[in-house]
Amino acid sequence: MGDELVSKSYLMDLLKKNNVVQFGDFVLSSGKKSNYYIDMKKGITNPEILKTISILISEKIEGDCVAKIAGPALGAVPIATAISLESNIPLLMIRKAKKDYGTSKLIEGILSEGDNVVVVEDVTTTGGSLLKAIDAISQNQGIVKRAFVVVDREDGAIERFESRGIKLEPLITVSDFFD
């Protein structure tokens, strides 16, 4: 895949072609009803989609003095890993909860005080799980200024992040699929 071919519209085409975005009647994990569903697990297990996402985000953070790329488990870990490989920036994996054995860490990988961290997520609705990951990084003296999401459902996540002084940057918003 030539990097010059990678674009938002190319990613959208890949997501559509691989039925990552499905239309119909769905009940979301929040209990809300929706006329579409974004099956990003199907997307992030596809090498071409993952490579495209990693190139798009790596280009956006180039020259930003980023020390670490972080993703909350489970959906964002493949994305963060792909970006780490593409950009040669070390990776952090953020657990949903501390494990109760071994080292009992919430963050896997080496986070140093003052590290600039870019966080990534597969899909955001309100952004709650990504904000938990950001809190974990902040509590461990990391600094998060930018966050990326592959698809934003436009349910308030961008505004929530803004109120915390963090720019959430979606590669695609749900309305892009309806335009």
129 known member of a binding site: yes
125 known member of a binding site: yes
84 known member of a binding site: no
The DSSP line for 46-95 is SHHHHHHHHHHHHHHHTTS---EEEEETTTHHHHHHHHHHHHT--EEEE-
How crowded is residue 48: how many other Cβ atoms within 10 Å of its Cβ? Answer: 14
138 known member of a binding site: no
127 known member of a binding site: yes
Q: Copy the structure tokens of residue 110.
A: 């080496």
Nearest-angstrom CA–CA distance, 130 and 123? 10
Nearest-angstrom CA–CA distance, 124 and 170? 9
96 known member of a binding site: yes
Kindly calculate the radius of gyration of the chain based on its CA atoms and give it in whole angstroms. 16
126 known member of a binding site: yes
128 known member of a binding site: yes
146 known member of a binding site: no
Residues annotated in a binding site for orotate = 125, 153
Residues annotated in a binding site for 5-phospho-alpha-D-ribose 1-diphosphate = 95-96, 99, 121-129
Residues annotated in a binding site = 95-96, 99, 121-129, 153
